[in-house]
Structure 1
């Protein structure tokens, strides 16, 4: 019963915060909409499949920050070549995330929670790390205020689980206030996170390959020993 009440209070907080945020930020949203439409054309919003609560997929919304430039073969250029100056500014100030307030109203996301990650990562979580899917993903979270994009994957996912275990409305309020401070001071901001860390599937795939190589080497030594 207490868990249901806590979830109800959190959901009420999410809806109230999202509505207030969209109201207060509406002039800024209009300005960004016009700027993105002028610089990048339509569509203004970008959607991408992410993994949500209980492992269910949903489309996360963001303002577009990259062009659709392609090479001679018709393949999209690397992200860093398609990221525009406007896009860099929006990412640095986290303004590209504003449309996720709509995700909150839809019930896909919460204001605070583990960040929704790419679907391709689903196979690479440990059983303990999968606890991050016990709650709705958030616009901001414990891992983000701990270092934003500079925190390594293992530490980041560990913080996600810690939030699930310790989550409360009071903790949410503290995370929101800390997030506001980080955005305005640009503390720990990395526009292109791949500059500091690889994708989760690449990092753990390489670790698995190394483990298999070491295991094969050990077996050969045992056979010849």
Structure 2
């Protein structure tokens, strides 16, 4: 299967870059002469701050997977912690070598590698062979192009990107490169040297979407397996993800006759009771909390179904040594962020709460009960203005549905990616507290409105203290009415046909509409309504 995959590449290779071959080598020779003085000064500064050796040498993977030795000026010392592990890069640099790295002066010796044909000016950066091997099928595709001094991944984020993001950008460039793109890449390289690295969201999103699309073509030329030969798949996760994942599998020809759904204990979508169902034959209702389903019970359900793949949708904690010991079972997790960013629970709520411009969705291999496993696939999700937790979860569900068939195609290829996460880039999300779902009237009107838009449509909602009574808030918007100078935050200025006008901490007012369940009395008929009016009198 792997041989067919390599032969019938889903990434259609373009003609060689215009800055390659004899012309590239001639340019490298000219630049070596031109940069001889900066190179000498750099070597002297490295010797003065770090001592010998001046040069850094390391084996990297090159064209067609052939290894070669990359050389550059050394910019870090070998300081280690008490456990013998190297300290983070930032602690092993000096101010001088940090400037050398910032201006890319440490890369000057690589002009020699262009001169002898191991590298080109433009192309994917040379990586360690072990790193390329984790790319699986995509590592073979990436190796079809000579490594470069600068590349599409470097000018679109560089060291701020994870390995899987760099891979997507590199593969997009390999298929779409043209002389015009090469020229633009050189312009962006100069801009990066002058202004520093910054993540360019649009090219990154385009590249990640490209990688998801191409993943579905990995085995298409070799012919898709018949339905009876397709892998058996078990799903386990909350209903809002489970339904979309199952529909996507069925639409793609997979048979998911058993679906495992666990209680939703995440504070993103709290729900007091959730059904665990395996198809239509098995159904039971458990109380809230994943602890209600024991390790042995969950493992027995998986063993009984005997799947080839177990998908844990935002629930890595279901994994256990018992599940991991099931022969031939591969376990994949879905996490609603761009791992290793925003590990942990409530990633969706935190993305909205922190007003991020973008987040992501990740499929990763699960080797223990967390979200630190190697990456299989990842894509980006943009957040709209006024994004809510509910609307972002819908985007996550739709993204999962588009990613899942593509990821399974990669697994069918026999050589799927297993890209290790960069722990130095990892961030973590903590559980949301009760206070996060209550309105703080001393906050600004903008902040209060953002919190209402986030939580109003979630099952647990958001609450505000009005006139000594707690109300669940359905909607809120700005009001042109201004509070008096003596108005305290949370004071009811006046009543409206559908709610109240309340003063905020910055003196501005908002119009809030309390919520009531279908069939219940109107909020105006409740005692809390009259108490609120009395409190605002």
TM-score normalised per structure 1: 0.75
Q: 8 Å contact 2:64–2:140 — kept in the other structure?
A: no
Cα offsets for 1:90-128 (capped at 9, x unmatched): 112221111111111121111000111112213311313
Q: 8 Å contact 1:36–1:64 — kept in the other structure?
A: yes
- Return the alpha-carbon distance in structure 2 between the equivalents of residues 31 and 116 of structure 1: 25
Q: 8 Å contact 1:129–1:158 — kept in the other structure?
A: no
Match among 213, 221, 225 for residue 301 of structure 2 = 221
- Return the alpha-carbon distance in structure 2 between the equivalents of residues 6 and 125 of structure 1: 23
Instruction: Tell me the equivalent position of 2:102.
Output: 92
Residues 38 and 46 of structure 1, relative CA distance in 2, 3 Å threshold: same
Q: How much does 1:167 deviate?
A: 2.5
After alignment, is 162-171 or 31-40 more displaced? 162-171
Cα offsets for 1:140-195 (capped at 9, x unmatched): 11111111222333232122112221233332222122101110111329xxxxxx
Whether 1:41 and 2:121 are equivalent positions in the alignment is no
- Return the alpha-carbon distance in structure 2 between the equivalents of residues 94 and 176 of structure 1: 14
- Return the alpha-carbon distance in structure 1 between the equivalents of residues 300 and 108 of structure 2: 55
What runs of 5+ residues in structure 2 fail to find an aligned partner?
A: 1-12, 200-235, 237-259, 261-294, 306-537
**Paired residues for 1:34-73 under 5 Å:** 34-69=44-79
Whether 1:78 and 2:87 are equivalent positions in the alignment is yes
Q: How much does 1:20 deviate?
A: 2.4
- Return the alpha-carbon distance in structure 2 between the equivalents of residues 172 and 65 of structure 1: 28
**Paired residues for 1:100-115 under 5 Å:** 100-115=110-125
Whether 1:157 and 2:167 are equivalent positions in the alignment is yes
Instruction: Tell me the equivalent position of 2:35.
Output: 25
Matched residue of 1:125: which SS? coil
Match among 143, 153, 178 for residue 153 of structure 2 = 143
- Return the alpha-carbon distance in structure 2 between the equivalents of residues 42 and 64 of structure 1: 9
Residues 107 and 170 of structure 1, relative CA distance in 2, 3 Å threshold: same
Q: How much does 1:133 deviate?
A: 0.3
Instruction: Tell me the equivalent position of 2:130.
Output: 120
Q: 8 Å contact 1:49–1:57 — kept in the other structure?
A: yes
TM-score normalised per structure 2: 0.34
- Return the alpha-carbon distance in structure 2 between the equivalents of residues 155 and 72 of structure 1: 32
After alignment, is 26-35 or 12-21 more displaced? 12-21
Q: 8 Å contact 2:56–2:74 — kept in the other structure?
A: yes
Q: How much does 1:19 deviate?
A: 1.7
Q: 8 Å contact 1:67–1:83 — kept in the other structure?
A: yes
Name the structure, 1 or 2, with higher relative contact order (CA <8 Å, separation 6+). 1
Q: 8 Å contact 2:14–2:177 — kept in the other structure?
A: no
Higher helix share: 1
Match among 20, 24, 27 for residue 14 of structure 1 = 24
Q: How much does 1:63 deviate?
A: 0.6
- Return the alpha-carbon distance in structure 1 between the equivalents of residues 23 and 181 of structure 2: 13
Residues 44 and 6 of structure 1, relative CA distance in 2, 3 Å threshold: same
Residues 61 and 224 of structure 1, relative CA distance in 2, 3 Å threshold: same
Higher strand share: 2
Residues 33 and 178 of structure 1, relative CA distance in 2, 3 Å threshold: same
Q: How many residues align?
A: 198
Q: 8 Å contact 1:10–1:169 — kept in the other structure?
A: no
- Return the alpha-carbon distance in structure 1 between the equivalents of residues 194 and 104 of structure 2: 10
Matched residue of 1:134: which SS? coil
Instruction: Tell me the equivalent position of 1:196.
Output: none
Whether 1:166 and 2:176 are equivalent positions in the alignment is yes
Q: 8 Å contact 2:26–2:115 — kept in the other structure?
A: no
What runs of 5+ residues in structure 1 fail to find an aligned partner?
A: 190-213
- Return the alpha-carbon distance in structure 2 between the equivalents of residues 4 and 149 of structure 1: 26
Structure of greater Rg:
2
Q: 8 Å contact 2:133–2:139 — kept in the other structure?
A: no
Residues 72 and 24 of structure 1, relative CA distance in 2, 3 Å threshold: same
